[in-house]
Every structure is written in C-alpha cells, then in structure tokens.
Structure 1
Amino acid sequence: MRILIATTQVPFVRGGAEGLAEGLQHALRSHGHEAEIVALPFKWYPPKKILDNMLAWRLLDVTEASGVPVDLLIGLKFPAYLIPHPNKVLWILHQHRTAYELWDHPLGDLITWPDGVQVRDAVRQADRQLIPEAKAVFASSANVARRLKKFCDLEATPLYHPPPSAERFYCGPAEDYLFFPSRLTRLKRQSLVIEALTQTEQAVRVKFIGKADEPGYLQELTDLARKHKVSQRIDWLGHVTEDEKLRLYAHALGVIYPPLDEDYGYVTLEGMLASKPCITCEDSGAPLEFVHNEQTGLVTGATPSALAAAMDTLWTKREQACSWGNASRALYDQLNISWSEVVRRLLA
C-alpha cells in the first residue's frame, strides 16, 4: 500500500513524537509498503495560529499523489489528525493539551489569552466532530485514551510501540547515580528532582541529559540547584550520543521520571529495556501503566519530600532495586511491544 503519515513539527524541537513517526515509517517500509511522512510546522501562539493550523490541515488534499491514489492515511498529532481522507486511521499521540487537561493548570498558557476560551472551544468541537471520520482510532497509551473519553466521549484503543533502538539496550553494573534522560521542559519537572535532592538523607547523585525547549530554562535549573546547594550532586550532560545514552542507562542505579500527566514517555520503556527500576509520581500519567509500586519501581507523591524518600530507597536498597529492574524488563517482554504488532493493528 501507499501510506502517508500525517504529523506536526515544531522546528528545531525533537522529542518522542518525531521518533515515533520515523519508527512507524521504517516499520511500514519493512513490511513492504510505501510510506512517507507529511509534516507541517506548528505554532500555538498567539492562539489564532492554532486555528490557522487546523484550517491548513483541513484544506490539504492527499487522496492522491502524482495521479496515484494514497491508500491509507495515518494521523498522529493535533492538528494533523484532522486532515481529510476517505481511508484514515488515527493513532493519537495527544490532543492539544492546553485546551483539555492543562486548561486551568499553571503550566497552561491558552487560558491567559483574551481569545483563549474561543480557541479552546473550537479545538474541542473540531476533535469531537472530526476524529470520528477515521475508520479506527488508537491512542499512544491508556492515559491518552482516557483523556479522549473524558473530554470528548470518544473511544480509542491503546497501542504501545517500542522506543528507538530498543534492541540495543543492555544492563551493566550499577554505579552511584540516578538517571533522568529527557528534554528539559517544565512538564518533565526536572525542578522537582532538584528540590527533592535537598531533602534526601543519602548523598544521591543525578545525571540529566537533554536540551532545553525554551531559551534560559537550563540556566533557570542550574540557578535553582545552586540556590539549594546541590549543584555538586548533579551532572548536566546536555546532548549525548546514542551510545553514551545507552551506557548511562546500563550503569544507572535507577531511572527517575516524574513528568506531569505524560502521554507515553520513552524514558520509562527505555529503563525497562535496560532492566532498571523507575521512580515516577502518582500524577505522571502513562508511566504508571508500566511502573508498579515496589514491583518494577517506585510510585510516589509529587512532592520533594516524597520523591526524596523514593530516591533514598533505591540508593540504600540496591539488591531490591536490581530485582525491581529485572521485573521491569520481564514486564516489557510480556507486553509484546513491537513494530510488527503496531503495523498489524493499524492496517487491520
């Protein structure tokens, strides 16, 4: 089949969504299909730009290319999944979050604009009316499916996929650090980990990798660490090579990942592949689908004191941490997370 993958791209920002689109394209080609990614740049400010983006996708005609029909359209991100096509399947990574669960959250910006309510309502109306155009709707996680049901009363089937380079992860002897690999952005809550370090009883060390999404945010985090006098227990490694990332996973005592209501999150799955326990929070969303408290890691309250206690637990109970890590790898293997399964279900 000739298949198009529709998604959006914020220029110069790369995260899990980009890896997913590329992984899906590779998987479809590996199964004998022609597959291309169609992406438009996305800008969400001022809010009127969101409506412009929605309209742009609705105006596109991708039913054929060079006179040859496009057999299937797979929509991933808002507003790309609004694109019309007679044979469309959606695999929703997330909706426009500030119009939904982040609407009245301190990290939500849409509510602060004079036309925020009107744009929010337009986004919700479009989702309710146009998502059902698809012949099948999948979600990247049960958490995303839950939101879709809660806000739009629409059903979606959770469909997990492996992180990039899944086959290359390995486990090595644990060293004296916890690992937090992620883009530096407020929703990932690196600041919460810094604040937790001020309350640990042990000399816990944390290695961070990733680039900041917004100018000045890394400086804000380093200033916070300096203010709390924990700078000497933190390594800011920035962008690292894939080989170095794999090594850091392999030798970590555990993974720490406390985002706010995450859509999916490769970090949790990458930790599982490296046989590492993960610390996450009760409000972290999709990681809770994989991190089972005191079985494959630790689930804690989203407060510095609670997170500090969990970090101390991994630091002092290393045999237990190793056991939880092995259990997390076993769980990953049980879940049958593979690109072959993704292709089978999307094309069924």
Structure 2
Amino acid sequence: MRIGIANVQVPFVHGGAEVHAQNLVEQLRARKFEAELITVPFKWYPPQQLIDSIAIARMLDLSEANGVRIDRLIGLKFPAYLMPHPNKVLWILHQYRAAYDLWDHPEFGDLINLPGGQAVRETIRYADNRFIPEARAIHANSRNVANRLAAFNGIAAAPLYHPPAQAERFYGDDAQDYLFFPSRITNLKRQDLVVEALALCREPVRVVFAGAAEAPAYVAAITQRVRELGLDERAVFAGFTSDADKLKLYAECRGVVYPPVDEDYGYVTLEAMLAHKPVVATSDSGGPLEFIVPGETGLVCEPTAPALAAALDALWQDRVRARNMGTAGHAHYAAMGISWDVVVDVLTA
C-alpha cells in the first residue's frame, strides 16, 4: 500500500508536529508500507494567508503521483487534512486553535484582533465542517483534541495515542536536586507561571528549563523577571539540549513540571512516565491530564502561582513519595498499551 502523510511545514521550524509526522512515516515503512511525507509551507499572517492555504490544500491532486496511485492519504494538521483524496483517513493533531478554543484568548492566539479575523475564522470553521467529514475515518491525537472537534464542529473522532520519539531510550536514575521542565519556551507552555511559583515556594525548589525559544520577547520578559525575583540559582534555562542530555535530565530529576494551557497531547508527560518520574500539571493543562492519576502518578493543581508553588513544595519535600509516584507512572504507561503497532493497524485498516 502506498500511503501519503499530509502535513504542513513552517519553514525553518522543527517541533513536535514535525517529529510526529516523520515518526509516522518511519513506523509505516518499518512495517513494509510505502510511505511518503507530503508537506505544504504554512504561514498564518496576514490572515488572508490562512484562506489561501485552504484553497491550496483543496486544489492539490494526491490521488496519484508519477502515474502511480496513492492508495491512502493520512491527514494530520490544518489545512493539510483538508486535501481531497478518495481514500483519506485523518489523525488530527489539532485544528487551527486561534479560530476555536483560543479565539477568546488573544494572549495566546491573535486572530481575534487582526483585520478580517472574524471572516477568516468563519471560513476556517466552514472548511472544517464541510471537508473533515469527507474522510473515511477520523481519529484525534488525544481525547482533548477529539473533545474540541465535537464541541466546536459536532464531529466525532476517536483518540489514538502514540509513543513519544525514542521511547525505548528513556530510563530512570537516582534523583538529583532539581525538577525538569522540557519544552519550547512560549507563553502557551507557561514558563512564566513556574517562575512566579518558584518565588512563592517555601522549599529551595530548583527548576531546569530546557527548550528552544519561540518568541524572543517572551524569553526576555522571563529572564528579567528571574533577575527581579532573585531566582538566578533556582530557575536555570539550559536552552536547546541534545537527545542524550535531555534523557539524562529526565532520568536524574526529582520530577517533571508541565503546566501548559490546554495542551493537545503533551509528549512531556509520557516521557516523564517512561523515565519513572512524577509530573506536576495544572487543572487546565488539557492532554497531560489524560495520563496523570492525581496523587498516584503526579500532582494536579489550579493554574495559579500559589497553588503551583504548593505542589512543587510537596514534590520537593518527600523524595520517597516522588519516587513511588514515578514508579506508578511507569507502570501506568505500560498498562495503557500505547504502541505504534496499534496506531499503524488503525490507520491502515
């Protein structure tokens, strides 16, 4: 079977969605499918670009390539999942969130404040409502993404979980004196909230942040706030790390901090579980909450600095409890049966 994976690519940006798409291609090829990643460049500004992107996606003919039929198309992200194909299956990573759940949150999604934003929002929703149902099967990256699709579009989708990249390489080791927050630096991940929480901690909690900066202004504001609060020794920004360094940071931390805003899926949570580490998330973190059992494999608190500070203190105070929650998280991951075998079977059925 020849399978095309339809995705978008922001030039010079390589994040979780890009890793996800490439992993899917590799997993299909490992199971003897002929798979190819098909991407289109994506730009979301000015807003008219979004409408143009929808039109481009709809005009593409991916029924065949070089005179040979493409048997199946698997669509991942907006607007690539709108590409027409007679045998299309969707595995939606997320919709264009600024037109949906982030519409009323301009601090995270700016479409509401841009010229013509309302009309663009309506066009995006119209396209999703009309063309997503063309697929012969619709799956979502997580239950959180499926719930959004149901709430905003009235379209049902089944959550289909998958392992993070290099899942087999994660390991646990003796805990050192730091918590770990691995993620790209952006306001949706809320590194600023963790910094404010650190200032309120009663314990000498130390957090190592690792990840590339997405918005220079956001990073500059956080750096300034760290200096103002005198947290230079307790809020350590390691920047982009190699795979080996990231694995070691996971293995040797006391626990993982991950309080994003309504995350689609959240590789960080699964990676922490594979490394035998508990996770601290917030009640509005979205996808991570599908994997955390509060009080057993991690802690979930309200998305405020005082509440997060109390959770960080609790994890810091009791090494034994933190270790036991990490062990329980690893067992919980195994019990969920998350595997690429399942994913490939579902998407090629």
**TM-score bracket relative to the smaller structure:** over 0.9
1:59 and 2:64 are equivalent in the alignment: no
Runs of 4+ in 1 over 6 A off after TM superposition: none
Distance 2:246 2:233 in 1: 21
Alpha-carbon shift at residue 320 of structure 1 (Å): 0.6
Q: 2:291 corresponds to which residue?
A: 290
Alpha-carbon shift at residue 214 of structure 1 (Å): 2.0
Aligned residue runs from structure 1 range 23-62, under 5 A: 23-62=23-62
Distance 1:43 1:233 in 2: 37
TM-score if structure 2 supplies the norm length?
0.99
Aligned residue runs from structure 1 range 91-102, under 5 A: 91-102=91-102
Q: 2:164 corresponds to which residue?
A: 163
Deviation readout 1:239-259 (Å, 9 max, x if unpaired): 111011000000000000000
Q: 2:87 corresponds to which residue?
A: 87
2:181 counterpart SS class: strand
Distance 1:138 1:187 in 2: 24
Deviation readout 1:151-194 (Å, 9 max, x if unpaired): 00000000000000000000000000000000001100000000
2:293 counterpart SS class: coil
Q: Percent identity?
A: 55
Alpha-carbon shift at residue 46 of structure 1 (Å): 1.0
Deviation readout 1:270-299 (Å, 9 max, x if unpaired): 000001000000000000001121011000
Q: 2:202 corresponds to which residue?
A: 201
Q: 2:74 corresponds to which residue?
A: 74
Aligned residue runs from structure 1 range 178-327, under 5 A: 178-327=179-328
Verify the 8 A CA contact 2:47 2:115 in the aligned structure 1: no
Aligned residues: CA RMSD? 0.8
Alpha-carbon shift at residue 206 of structure 1 (Å): 0.4
Verify the 8 A CA contact 1:145 1:157 in the aligned structure 2: yes
Verify the 8 A CA contact 1:17 1:93 in the aligned structure 2: yes
Verify the 8 A CA contact 1:16 1:265 in the aligned structure 2: no
Alpha-carbon shift at residue 114 of structure 1 (Å): 2.4
Alpha-carbon shift at residue 318 of structure 1 (Å): 1.0
Shifted more, 277-286 versus 102-111: the winner is: 102-111
Shifted more, 36-45 versus 81-90: the winner is: 36-45
Alpha-carbon shift at residue 232 of structure 1 (Å): 1.6
Q: 1:107 corresponds to which residue?
A: 108
Verify the 8 A CA contact 2:6 2:38 in the aligned structure 1: yes
Q: Which amino acid aligns with 1:126?
A: A
List alignment gaps of at least 5 residues for structure 1.
none
Distance 2:186 2:12 in 1: 14
1:232 counterpart SS class: coil
Q: 2:338 corresponds to which residue?
A: 337
Q: 1:126 corresponds to which residue?
A: 127
Verify the 8 A CA contact 1:184 1:210 in the aligned structure 2: yes
Alpha-carbon shift at residue 314 of structure 1 (Å): 0.6
Distance 2:199 2:216 in 1: 26
In the comparison of the two structures, how many residue pairs are matched?
348
Alpha-carbon shift at residue 345 of structure 1 (Å): 0.6
Distance 1:151 1:29 in 2: 35
1:237 counterpart SS class: strand
